[in-house]
Amino acid sequence: MDTELAAWLRQERENRGWPKAEMARRLVQAGRDAGDNTVPSVSGMLHNIHRWEREGGVSERHKLHYCRALAIQPGQFGNGTRQPNDAVAPPSPAEASPAAPAAVVPVQRPAAAPVVPGLPQPALAGIAYRGKQELVPGEFAVGQEVMTAAHEGSDHAAEHEYHGVGAATLEQLRADLVRLSALSDTGAPFPAFLDMRRVRDRACRLLDRRQRPRELADLYLLAGCLNGLMGVTANRLGYPDAAEELIRAGWAYADIIGHNALRGMLRAGHAYVMYWRGRNSEGRDFAADGLRYASQGPLGANLHVEHARAAARLGDARTARRAVELAHAAQETDAGDDLTQIGGEVFALSRATTCSMAGSALAEIAGNEREAAGELQRAISRYDEEPRPGEYHGTAGRALAGTDLAIVRLRSGALDAAATALEPVLALPPVQRVATLTARLARVREELAAPVFQGSQQARDLGEQVEEFDRESVAKGLHSLDG
């Protein structure tokens, strides 16, 4: 890390009165003027500037672009000796125009995989994450071809099984549900959502065929679970209306078969969406209704903490504290439902996430910062341990705990502690920066605007990092797509 160069870059920009966005625009233009067709977009260059002004590490190619943009000679780059108002001659074309870098190879798009109905297409994922992650085309294309072949074989076998749905097809659908539940916690949410849709659509196609009653009940259960899982994932991607519709579709299947655990899971999912929409009365009612169907085990714990979060926001501190106590008690019981065996936070809330959600509920109660911090610190400690059998430690869950802890620390004026809590959060790759997390980070920005932090360079830097995080979130990338 070259902190001296980082400070010099920041000083040169600030001496000219340029915000980072203007610096990014000038660097992109300087690169294009020099014939460098590989410069990133302004938003991509802005990300580089944030990093360079923290860590240094500017490449030789971009050093030349800086020289052109700052109107300095290459020998003056980073030397820190020039005063702000010193007049300098612009670099000559020979000095400022880099030769085409030998190591830069035009990006080759992977060949299009065969279009299979219901299969997530590579182009969609590529568009959604354009500029957000680097893919190795060969590996990407190979992975798509292998998965396409597997899905085709599985679908064809299901079509030819004797009398309805065979054991092999149901076993594959259950295995897909377990895999996708874990992937929704730990993977990139948009590709996971596309895969969920493929599996859900396959179950629906099978429901359209004549099935035996037992097979029909299994398929309704799978379709209900998948719709609920898709609903939670859609909300993380920033589409709450779609999330609600998917959860309601799952509820229809749960009602058909009278499956109480599935009803409870879907009510927890709906309360979760209402919480993030700020519709707290509805969230409280969904959670309370769900507790009629499931009040014990990880699912019961989920409903109790959703109830606690809604009650706390509505100013009912007593109910919120009682719901937190009930959540911890429920977490230690065995509900004996078949959804817990699926695993993942949607079907089997982990002990770490129970603490995290309890902490976020208690943080809504004025003057309760110490108790909230205790729950959040327990959550982080548990996330840092190996998960228990059947549990998954979701990436977003760990990040939300750190963010909530930072909010509590900022309310106490502990800026250093807040920055430490946010370090692993701000390091998340763009594909895991979900909408729920950026919404919570907006609260961090509100706390940083408090009078106690006015004039603090550290607070300003932390605020800029949060802004950068939000600009590169997966929800922003998806919402910016045309069509």
Q: Where are the domains of the chain?
A: 3-96, 122-476
- Tokens 């259950």, residue located: 174
Residue 1 banded pLDDT, cuts 50, 70, 90 = low
Nearest-angstrom CA–CA distance, 461 and 300: 41
- Please state the rounded mean pLDDT for residues 384-396: 80
Q: What is the DSSP letter of 367?
A: T
Q: Give the list of residues 6+ apart from residue 344 with CB closer than 8 angstroms, or none.
A: 178, 181, 182, 184, 185, 229, 392, 394
- Choice between 419 and 107, residue whose per-residue pLDDT is larger: 419
In single-letter form, the type of residue at position 277 comes to R
- Triad 109, 110, 116: Cα angle to 5°: 130
Give me 376's structure tokens.
């959040």
Does residue 436 carry a pLDDT above 60?
yes
Instruction: Please report the pLDDT score of residue 32 as a whole number.
Output: 85
* pTM (whole model) above 0.85: no
What residue spans of 279-414 are helical by DSSP H? 280-290, 297-313, 317-331, 351-362, 369-384, 395-411
* φ/ψ of residue 330, rounded to 5: -65, -35
CB atoms within 10 A of CB 318: 9
Q: What is the pLDDT of residues 94-110, one digit of tens each?
A: 333 333 333 333 333 33
- Rounded to an integer, what distance in angstroms lies between the CA atom of residue 424 and that of residue 233? 22
Position 155 pLDDT exceeds 60: no
Q: Are 448 and 462 in contact (CB under 8 A)?
A: yes
Compute how many other C-beta atoms are within 10 angstroms of the C-beta atom of residue 103. Answer: 5
User: Which of 166-175, 228-237, 246-255, 365-374 has the lowest average pLDDT?
Assistant: 166-175
What number is the average pLDDT over the span 319-339?
91
Residues in contact with 243: Cβ distance below 8 Å, sequence separation at least 6, in sequence order: 231, 232, 234, 235, 269, 273
Sign of the dihedral through C-alpha 424, 427, 433, 438 = positive
- DSSP assignment of 153-210 equals HHHHHHHTSSSS--HHHHHHHHHHHHHHHHHHHHS-HHHHHHHHHHHHHHHHHHHTS-
Q: What are phi and psi of 342, to 5 degrees?
A: -65, -40
Between 52 and 100, the higher pLDDT residue: 52
Tens-digit pLDDT profile for residues 183-237: 887 778 888 899 999 999 999 988 888 777 888 899 999 999 999 999 999 999 9
The type of residue at 33 is D
Whole-angstrom distance, CA of residue 26 vs CA of residue 45: 10
Mean pLDDT of 337-365: 91
- Identify the CA nearest to 346 among candidates 228, 176, 173: 228
The SS3 assignment for 462 reads: helix
The mean pLDDT of the chain is 81
Alpha-carbon span 147 to 369, nearest angstrom:
48
Cα gap 480→191, rounded to integer Å: 17
- Residue 109 tokens read as 């798009």
In whole angstroms, give the CA distance from residue 324 to residue 362: 8
The CA distances from residue 157 to 119, 321, 391, 413, in Å, are 16, 52, 32, 62
Would you say domain 122-476 falls under CATH 1.25.40.10? yes
Q: Which residue has the tokens 């548990």?
A: 382
Cβ-Cβ contacts under 8 Å for 272 (sequence gap 6 or more): 232, 235, 283, 306
pLDDT digits (tens, 9 = 90+) for 225-283: 999 999 999 999 999 999 999 999 999 999 999 999 999 999 999 999 999 999 999 99
Element containing residue 389 per DSSP (H, E)? none
